[in-house]
Structure 1
Protein backbone atom coordinates (compact mmCIF):
# COMPACT_ATOMS: atom_id res chain seq x y z
CA UNK A 1 0.00 0.00 0.00
CA UNK A 2 2.79 2.43 0.87
CA UNK A 3 4.60 1.98 -2.48
CA UNK A 4 1.34 2.66 -4.36
CA UNK A 5 0.85 5.74 -2.19
CA UNK A 6 4.38 6.94 -2.95
CA UNK A 7 3.76 6.49 -6.70
CA UNK A 8 0.60 8.58 -6.52
CA UNK A 9 2.44 11.23 -4.54
CA UNK A 10 5.31 11.32 -7.02
CA UNK A 11 2.85 11.57 -9.91
CA UNK A 12 0.99 14.46 -8.26
CA UNK A 13 4.21 16.29 -7.48
CA UNK A 14 5.40 15.82 -11.06
CA UNK A 15 2.11 17.24 -12.33
CA UNK A 16 2.49 20.32 -10.13
CA UNK A 17 6.08 20.85 -11.21
CA UNK A 18 5.32 20.35 -14.91
CA UNK A 19 3.13 23.46 -14.71
CA UNK A 20 5.48 25.55 -12.58
CA UNK A 21 9.17 26.32 -12.94
CA UNK A 22 10.71 26.35 -9.45
CA UNK A 23 13.70 28.34 -10.69
CA UNK A 24 11.36 31.26 -11.41
CA UNK A 25 11.33 31.87 -7.64
CA UNK A 26 14.42 32.80 -5.58
CA UNK A 27 16.00 29.87 -3.74
CA UNK A 28 15.52 31.51 -0.31
CA UNK A 29 11.79 31.81 -1.02
CA UNK A 30 11.62 28.15 -2.03
CA UNK A 31 13.40 27.23 1.23
CA UNK A 32 10.78 29.18 3.18
CA UNK A 33 8.01 27.45 1.23
CA UNK A 34 9.52 24.04 2.06
CA UNK A 35 9.78 24.98 5.73
CA UNK A 36 6.09 25.90 5.70
CA UNK A 37 5.20 22.68 3.88
CA UNK A 38 7.01 20.46 6.37
CA UNK A 39 5.50 22.44 9.25
CA UNK A 40 2.01 22.05 7.76
CA UNK A 41 2.26 18.30 7.14
CA UNK A 42 1.64 17.19 10.76
CA UNK A 43 -1.30 19.59 10.97
CA UNK A 44 -2.73 18.23 7.72
CA UNK A 45 -2.41 14.70 9.09
CA UNK A 46 -4.42 15.69 12.16
CA UNK A 47 -7.31 16.49 9.81
CA UNK A 48 -7.52 12.87 8.66
CA UNK A 49 -9.49 10.23 10.54
CA UNK A 50 -7.20 7.73 12.20
CA UNK A 51 -4.02 9.75 11.69
CA UNK A 52 -1.84 11.38 14.29
CA UNK A 53 0.27 14.49 13.95
CA UNK A 54 3.36 12.34 13.38
CA UNK A 55 3.74 11.68 9.62
CA UNK A 56 5.76 8.70 8.39
CA UNK A 57 7.24 10.86 5.63
CA UNK A 58 7.63 14.64 5.66
CA UNK A 59 10.21 16.05 3.25
CA UNK A 60 10.53 18.91 0.81
CA UNK A 61 13.25 19.85 -1.68
CA UNK A 62 13.85 23.57 -2.18
CA UNK A 63 15.61 22.74 -5.46
CA UNK A 64 12.63 21.03 -7.10
CA UNK A 65 9.74 21.84 -4.73
CA UNK A 66 8.94 18.13 -4.64
CA UNK A 67 7.51 17.24 -1.25
CA UNK A 68 6.38 14.18 0.65
CA UNK A 69 3.68 14.20 3.30
CA UNK A 70 2.45 10.75 4.24
CA UNK A 71 0.49 10.39 7.47
CA UNK A 72 0.98 7.51 9.89
CA UNK A 73 -2.16 5.84 8.50
CA UNK A 74 -0.50 5.79 5.01
CA UNK A 75 -2.84 8.47 3.67
CA UNK A 76 -1.56 11.52 1.80
CA UNK A 77 -3.48 14.64 2.74
CA UNK A 78 -4.65 16.90 -0.08
CA UNK A 79 -2.19 19.74 0.46
CA UNK A 80 -3.80 21.80 -2.31
CA UNK A 81 -6.78 22.36 -0.02
CA UNK A 82 -4.64 24.27 2.49
CA UNK A 83 -2.51 27.39 2.60
CA UNK A 84 1.15 27.37 3.64
CA UNK A 85 1.78 24.34 1.41
CA UNK A 86 3.75 23.89 -1.81
CA UNK A 87 0.62 23.59 -4.01
CA UNK A 88 -0.74 26.80 -2.51
CA UNK A 89 2.52 28.70 -2.96
CA UNK A 90 3.06 27.53 -6.53
CA UNK A 91 -0.54 28.36 -7.40
CA UNK A 92 -0.33 31.89 -6.00
CA UNK A 93 3.06 32.47 -7.64
CA UNK A 94 1.68 31.24 -10.98
CA UNK A 95 -1.16 33.73 -10.58
CA UNK A 96 1.30 36.52 -9.71
CA UNK A 97 3.36 35.76 -12.82
CA UNK A 98 0.19 35.66 -14.92
CA UNK A 99 -0.87 39.08 -13.58
CA UNK A 100 2.57 40.49 -14.33
CA UNK A 101 2.35 39.20 -17.91
CA UNK A 102 -0.98 40.99 -18.40
CA UNK A 103 0.85 44.33 -18.73
CA UNK A 104 -1.80 46.27 -16.81
CA UNK A 105 -4.88 44.77 -18.54
CA UNK A 106 -7.30 44.53 -15.61
CA UNK A 107 -9.58 41.98 -17.31
CA UNK A 108 -6.58 39.71 -17.96
CA UNK A 109 -5.36 40.20 -14.37
CA UNK A 110 -8.79 39.31 -13.00
CA UNK A 111 -8.88 36.16 -15.13
CA UNK A 112 -5.50 35.10 -13.76
CA UNK A 113 -6.91 34.84 -10.26
CA UNK A 114 -10.55 33.90 -10.93
CA UNK A 115 -9.78 31.09 -13.36
CA UNK A 116 -7.05 29.64 -11.15
CA UNK A 117 -8.22 29.81 -7.52
CA UNK A 118 -5.70 28.70 -4.91
CA UNK A 119 -6.41 26.87 -1.67
CA UNK A 120 -9.62 25.23 -0.54
CA UNK A 121 -12.65 26.08 -2.62
CA UNK A 122 -15.09 23.98 -0.61
CA UNK A 123 -13.20 22.77 2.45
CA UNK A 124 -14.47 19.74 4.29
CA UNK A 125 -14.54 20.16 8.03
CA UNK A 126 -13.25 16.95 9.54
CA UNK A 127 -12.20 16.10 13.06
CA UNK A 128 -15.00 18.27 14.40
CA UNK A 129 -16.84 17.02 17.45
CA UNK A 130 -19.97 18.74 18.62
CA UNK A 131 -21.29 17.86 22.04
CA UNK A 132 -24.09 19.45 23.97
CA UNK A 133 -23.15 20.74 27.38
CA UNK A 134 -25.72 19.90 30.02
CA UNK A 135 -27.34 22.78 31.82
CA UNK A 136 -26.43 22.64 35.50
CA UNK A 137 -29.23 22.02 37.95
CA UNK A 138 -29.78 24.24 40.98
CA UNK A 139 -27.81 21.80 43.14
CA UNK A 140 -24.82 21.97 40.74
CA UNK A 141 -24.74 25.76 40.43
CA UNK A 142 -22.20 27.33 42.82
CA UNK A 143 -23.77 29.53 45.44
CA UNK A 144 -22.11 32.44 47.22
CA UNK A 145 -23.31 33.69 50.58
CA UNK A 146 -23.90 37.42 50.63
CA UNK A 147 -24.51 39.88 53.44
CA UNK A 148 -27.47 38.98 55.72
CA UNK A 149 -27.39 35.33 54.60
CA UNK A 150 -28.73 35.99 51.07
CA UNK A 151 -27.41 33.73 48.35
CA UNK A 152 -26.56 34.28 44.73
CA UNK A 153 -25.49 32.03 41.89
CA UNK A 154 -21.72 32.23 41.80
CA UNK A 155 -19.52 32.82 38.81
CA UNK A 156 -19.24 29.84 36.56
CA UNK A 157 -15.84 28.61 35.51
CA UNK A 158 -14.96 29.69 31.99
CA UNK A 159 -14.78 26.74 29.69
CA UNK A 160 -11.47 26.48 27.91
CA UNK A 161 -11.65 24.97 24.45
CA UNK A 162 -8.18 23.83 23.35
CA UNK A 163 -9.22 23.64 19.69
CA UNK A 164 -9.59 27.43 19.66
CA UNK A 165 -6.13 27.86 21.15
CA UNK A 166 -4.64 25.37 18.69
CA UNK A 167 -6.34 27.12 15.77
CA UNK A 168 -5.06 30.48 16.94
CA UNK A 169 -1.51 29.10 17.19
CA UNK A 170 -1.75 27.75 13.64
CA UNK A 171 -3.12 31.07 12.40
CA UNK A 172 -0.40 33.12 14.11
CA UNK A 173 2.25 30.68 12.88
CA UNK A 174 0.93 31.09 9.34
CA UNK A 175 1.12 34.86 9.59
CA UNK A 176 4.66 34.70 10.95
CA UNK A 177 5.75 32.28 8.22
CA UNK A 178 4.10 34.43 5.55
CA UNK A 179 5.67 37.58 6.93
CA UNK A 180 9.14 36.07 7.02
CA UNK A 181 8.87 35.15 3.33
CA UNK A 182 8.28 38.83 2.56
CA UNK A 183 11.52 39.84 4.26
Structure 2
Protein backbone atom coordinates (compact mmCIF):
# COMPACT_ATOMS: atom_id res chain seq x y z
CA UNK A 1 0.00 0.00 0.00
CA UNK A 2 2.86 2.38 0.80
CA UNK A 3 4.43 1.51 -2.55
CA UNK A 4 1.18 2.43 -4.34
CA UNK A 5 1.03 5.84 -2.60
CA UNK A 6 4.68 6.43 -3.44
CA UNK A 7 4.11 5.60 -7.11
CA UNK A 8 1.08 7.90 -7.30
CA UNK A 9 2.98 10.75 -5.66
CA UNK A 10 5.97 10.24 -7.96
CA UNK A 11 3.76 10.09 -11.05
CA UNK A 12 1.93 13.29 -10.16
CA UNK A 13 5.16 15.18 -9.40
CA UNK A 14 6.74 13.91 -12.62
CA UNK A 15 3.65 14.94 -14.59
CA UNK A 16 3.72 18.46 -13.20
CA UNK A 17 7.45 18.79 -13.84
CA UNK A 18 7.05 17.49 -17.38
CA UNK A 19 4.17 19.85 -18.17
CA UNK A 20 6.26 22.85 -17.08
CA UNK A 21 9.17 21.93 -19.33
CA UNK A 22 7.21 21.22 -22.52
CA UNK A 23 6.95 24.48 -24.40
CA UNK A 24 6.88 23.47 -28.03
CA UNK A 25 6.82 20.41 -30.23
CA UNK A 26 8.71 22.21 -32.99
CA UNK A 27 12.17 20.82 -33.72
CA UNK A 28 14.58 23.73 -34.29
CA UNK A 29 16.44 21.62 -36.87
CA UNK A 30 13.30 21.67 -39.06
CA UNK A 31 13.44 25.47 -39.35
CA UNK A 32 15.68 27.05 -41.97
CA UNK A 33 18.78 28.81 -40.72
CA UNK A 34 17.86 32.30 -41.98
CA UNK A 35 14.57 32.17 -40.09
CA UNK A 36 16.36 31.05 -36.92
CA UNK A 37 18.90 33.85 -37.31
CA UNK A 38 16.08 36.36 -37.65
CA UNK A 39 14.28 34.92 -34.62
CA UNK A 40 17.45 35.17 -32.50
CA UNK A 41 18.14 38.73 -33.60
CA UNK A 42 14.55 39.67 -32.72
CA UNK A 43 14.80 37.82 -29.38
CA UNK A 44 17.89 39.77 -28.33
CA UNK A 45 16.28 43.07 -29.41
CA UNK A 46 13.12 42.17 -27.50
CA UNK A 47 15.17 41.34 -24.40
CA UNK A 48 16.43 44.93 -24.35
CA UNK A 49 12.88 46.29 -24.55
CA UNK A 50 11.48 43.82 -22.01
CA UNK A 51 14.27 44.61 -19.54
CA UNK A 52 13.57 48.32 -19.93
CA UNK A 53 9.98 47.56 -18.92
CA UNK A 54 10.92 45.22 -16.08
CA UNK A 55 13.54 47.45 -14.51
CA UNK A 56 11.85 50.74 -15.29
CA UNK A 57 15.21 52.11 -16.43
CA UNK A 58 15.72 52.75 -20.14
CA UNK A 59 18.98 51.83 -21.82
CA UNK A 60 20.59 49.56 -19.21
CA UNK A 61 22.44 46.58 -20.61
CA UNK A 62 21.01 43.20 -19.53
CA UNK A 63 23.32 40.90 -17.55
CA UNK A 64 22.69 38.20 -20.16
CA UNK A 65 21.19 38.60 -23.63
CA UNK A 66 22.16 35.67 -25.82
CA UNK A 67 20.53 33.45 -28.41
CA UNK A 68 21.96 30.42 -30.21
CA UNK A 69 20.56 30.46 -33.73
CA UNK A 70 21.23 26.75 -34.18
CA UNK A 71 19.41 25.39 -31.11
CA UNK A 72 17.22 28.48 -30.38
CA UNK A 73 18.36 28.40 -26.75
CA UNK A 74 18.25 31.91 -25.35
CA UNK A 75 19.05 33.79 -22.18
CA UNK A 76 17.59 37.11 -21.07
CA UNK A 77 18.58 38.31 -17.59
CA UNK A 78 17.96 41.97 -16.83
CA UNK A 79 20.39 44.24 -14.98
CA UNK A 80 18.36 43.80 -11.77
CA UNK A 81 18.86 40.02 -11.94
CA UNK A 82 15.30 39.23 -13.04
CA UNK A 83 14.72 36.86 -15.91
CA UNK A 84 11.37 37.78 -17.49
CA UNK A 85 9.03 35.08 -18.75
CA UNK A 86 9.58 35.50 -22.49
CA UNK A 87 6.45 33.49 -23.30
CA UNK A 88 4.40 36.47 -22.06
CA UNK A 89 5.73 38.62 -24.91
CA UNK A 90 5.62 38.63 -28.69
CA UNK A 91 8.76 38.74 -30.83
CA UNK A 92 10.53 36.21 -28.59
CA UNK A 93 11.69 32.63 -29.19
CA UNK A 94 8.73 31.10 -27.27
CA UNK A 95 6.34 33.23 -29.34
CA UNK A 96 7.97 32.22 -32.63
CA UNK A 97 8.01 28.52 -31.70
CA UNK A 98 4.36 28.70 -30.62
CA UNK A 99 3.39 30.39 -33.88
CA UNK A 100 5.33 27.80 -35.88
CA UNK A 101 3.61 25.00 -33.95
CA UNK A 102 0.23 26.52 -34.79
CA UNK A 103 1.21 26.84 -38.45
CA UNK A 104 2.22 23.18 -38.57
CA UNK A 105 -1.07 22.24 -36.90
CA UNK A 106 -3.05 24.25 -39.49
CA UNK A 107 -1.05 22.64 -42.31
CA UNK A 108 -1.97 19.20 -40.91
CA UNK A 109 -5.69 20.04 -41.14
CA UNK A 110 -7.56 18.92 -44.23
CA UNK A 111 -8.12 21.61 -46.82
CA UNK A 112 -11.07 23.94 -46.12
CA UNK A 113 -11.51 22.57 -42.58
CA UNK A 114 -11.80 25.93 -40.83
CA UNK A 115 -12.93 24.42 -37.52
CA UNK A 116 -9.71 22.39 -37.33
CA UNK A 117 -7.64 25.44 -38.22
CA UNK A 118 -9.44 27.58 -35.65
CA UNK A 119 -8.95 24.91 -32.98
CA UNK A 120 -5.20 24.87 -33.70
CA UNK A 121 -4.86 28.53 -32.83
CA UNK A 122 -7.48 28.84 -30.10
CA UNK A 123 -6.22 25.83 -28.12
CA UNK A 124 -2.63 27.10 -28.26
CA UNK A 125 -2.63 30.90 -28.01
CA UNK A 126 0.73 32.60 -28.44
CA UNK A 127 2.00 35.69 -26.63
CA UNK A 128 0.55 37.38 -23.58
CA UNK A 129 -2.89 36.15 -22.59
CA UNK A 130 -3.20 38.28 -19.46
CA UNK A 131 -0.91 41.25 -20.02
CA UNK A 132 0.05 43.13 -16.91
CA UNK A 133 -1.29 46.66 -16.75
CA UNK A 134 1.27 49.45 -17.01
CA UNK A 135 2.64 51.00 -13.86
CA UNK A 136 0.12 53.33 -12.31
CA UNK A 137 1.31 56.73 -11.22
CA UNK A 138 -0.55 59.00 -8.91
CA UNK A 139 -1.38 62.41 -10.28
CA UNK A 140 -2.80 65.38 -8.50
CA UNK A 141 -4.61 68.26 -10.11
CA UNK A 142 -3.34 71.74 -9.49
CA UNK A 143 -5.70 73.88 -7.48
CA UNK A 144 -7.37 76.68 -9.37
CA UNK A 145 -7.15 80.25 -8.14
CA UNK A 146 -9.07 81.92 -10.94
CA UNK A 147 -12.70 82.93 -10.59
CA UNK A 148 -13.28 82.98 -14.34
CA UNK A 149 -15.92 80.58 -15.64
CA UNK A 150 -14.59 77.54 -17.49
CA UNK A 151 -14.33 77.58 -21.29
CA UNK A 152 -17.43 75.98 -22.73
CA UNK A 153 -16.85 76.31 -26.46
CA UNK A 154 -17.00 79.03 -29.08
CA UNK A 155 -18.94 82.21 -28.48
CA UNK A 156 -22.31 82.14 -30.17
CA UNK A 157 -23.64 84.80 -32.53
CA UNK A 158 -27.24 85.38 -31.59
CA UNK A 159 -29.32 85.45 -34.77
CA UNK A 160 -26.30 84.77 -36.99
CA UNK A 161 -26.20 82.19 -39.73
CA UNK A 162 -24.84 78.76 -38.97
CA UNK A 163 -21.20 78.43 -39.99
CA UNK A 164 -20.79 75.93 -42.84
CA UNK A 165 -18.57 72.91 -42.32
CA UNK A 166 -16.36 73.90 -45.24
CA UNK A 167 -15.28 77.46 -45.86
CA UNK A 168 -15.88 78.04 -49.58
CA UNK A 169 -13.83 81.25 -49.95
CA UNK A 170 -10.64 79.39 -50.97
CA UNK A 171 -12.66 77.34 -53.48
CA UNK A 172 -14.08 80.50 -55.08
CA UNK A 173 -10.62 82.07 -55.18
CA UNK A 174 -9.15 79.01 -56.85
CA UNK A 175 -11.92 78.92 -59.44
CA UNK A 176 -11.29 82.58 -60.32
CA UNK A 177 -7.55 81.97 -60.73
CA UNK A 178 -8.11 78.85 -62.85
CA UNK A 179 -10.78 80.64 -64.92
CA UNK A 180 -8.35 83.46 -65.61
CA UNK A 181 -5.65 80.99 -66.59
CA UNK A 182 -7.95 79.19 -69.05
CA UNK A 183 -9.25 82.50 -70.48
CA UNK A 184 -5.70 83.67 -71.07
CA UNK A 185 -4.77 80.38 -72.67
CA UNK A 186 -7.84 80.55 -74.97
CA UNK A 187 -6.98 84.16 -75.90
CA UNK A 188 -3.53 83.13 -77.16
CA UNK A 189 -4.92 80.28 -79.28
Q: Same fold (TM over 0.5)?
A: yes
Which one of 107, 115, 119 corresponds to residue 100 of structure 1?
107
Q: Scaled by the length of structure 2, what TM-score is found?
A: 0.59
Kindly indicate whether the alpha-carbon contact (under 8 Å) linking 2:40 and 2:69 is maintained by their aligned counterparts in 1: yes
Gaps of 5+ in 1: 1-10, 140-183
TM-score, with structure 1 as normaliser: 0.61
**1:98, 1:112 within 8 Å by CA — same for their partners in 2?**
yes
Q: What is aligned with 2:74?
A: 67
Q: Is the CA contact 1:51–1:73 (under 8 Å) kept in the aligned structure 2?
A: no
Specify the SS of the correspondent of 1:132: coil
CA-to-aligned-CA distance 1:42-61 (integer Å, 9 cap, x gap): 21112225766421000001
Quick one: higher RCO (CA 8 Å, sep 6+), 1 or 2?
1
Cα displacement (A) at 1:107: 1.5
Bigger mean CA deviation after superposition, 33-42 or 23-32? 23-32
Residues 1:133 and 1:78: Cα distance change in structure 2 (over 3 Å): farther
The separation in 2 between residues aligned to 1:128 and 1:40, in whole angstroms, is 23
Count of residue pairs brought into register by the alignment:
128
Larger radius of gyration: 2
How many Å separate the matches in 2 of 1:130 and 1:21? 47
Pick from 27, 32, 36 the counterpart of residue 38 of structure 2. Answer: 32
Q: How does 1:8-157 map to 2 (within 5 A)?
A: 15-16=22-23, 19-49=25-55, 53-104=60-111, 105-134=113-142, 137-138=145-146
- 1:127–1:45: structure 2 CA closer, same or farther, 3 Å change rule? farther
Give the 4+ runs in structure 1 shifted more than 3 A: 14-17, 49-53, 135-139
CA distance in 1, matches of 2:52, 2:108: 39
8 A Cα contact 1:48 1:127, kept in partner = no
Unaligned runs of 5+ in 2: 1-17, 148-189
Flag the 1:84–1:131 CA change in 2: closer, same or farther, 3 A: same
